[in-house]
Homo-oligomer: A and B are copies of this chain.
Amino acid sequence: MATLGLVEYFNASPEVRAVYDDIMVTRRIDRINNFWKALANDPSTLRRTWESIKQIMTPGALDPLTKEMIYVAVSATNQCAYCIASHTAAARKAGMSDAMFAELMAVVGMANETNRLASGYQVEIDSQFVAGQEKDRFLAKAPRSPRKKKR
């Protein structure tokens, strides 16, 4: 049971209802997830979180499917059952196939493994990563404006 309960559409304030409407229109869905209904107990957090999500998940240098898969990767790493369920559903809706999901999980598992091997073995960061970043950074800075968003 959600800590503060869920705010259903029919008894939501106009402020909350406006966010709900925007969510449904933006996502082309006809019902609101429990996550938003729970946040609606705090309208300012509801609005801020939705505005941030809307801004971040919009197509940009990365496409929506890639973004949803990154969301799943983080959620699986953090063991957030709700978020794994909801964002896996969102990723599938955005086009994630079974094969893509399987590869996503394989990378997530492997990254979690090698993260601990690197820390457990107390491996020092290679100087070339630092230096390389530096160089890339200078190169990247110069021609920044005409950056091709080709992906």
Query: Which residues on B sit within 8 Å (CB–CB) of A3?
Result: 88, 101, 120-122, 133, 137
Question: A18 within 8 Å of B by Cβ?
Answer: no
In the assembly, how many copies of this chain are there? Answer: 6
Name A105's closest neighbour in chain B (CB-CB). Answer: B120
Q: Is A107 an interface residue (CB 8 A)?
A: yes
Report A72 CB to chain B, min CB distance, Å.
7
Are B126 and A53 interface neighbours, CB within 8 A?
no
Q: A residues touching B (Cβ–Cβ < 8 Å)?
A: 1-5, 31, 33-35, 38-39, 41-42, 44-45, 48-49, 52-53, 55-57, 60-62, 65-67, 69-89, 92, 95, 97-126, 128-130, 132-134, 136-137, 140-141, 144, 147, 149, 151
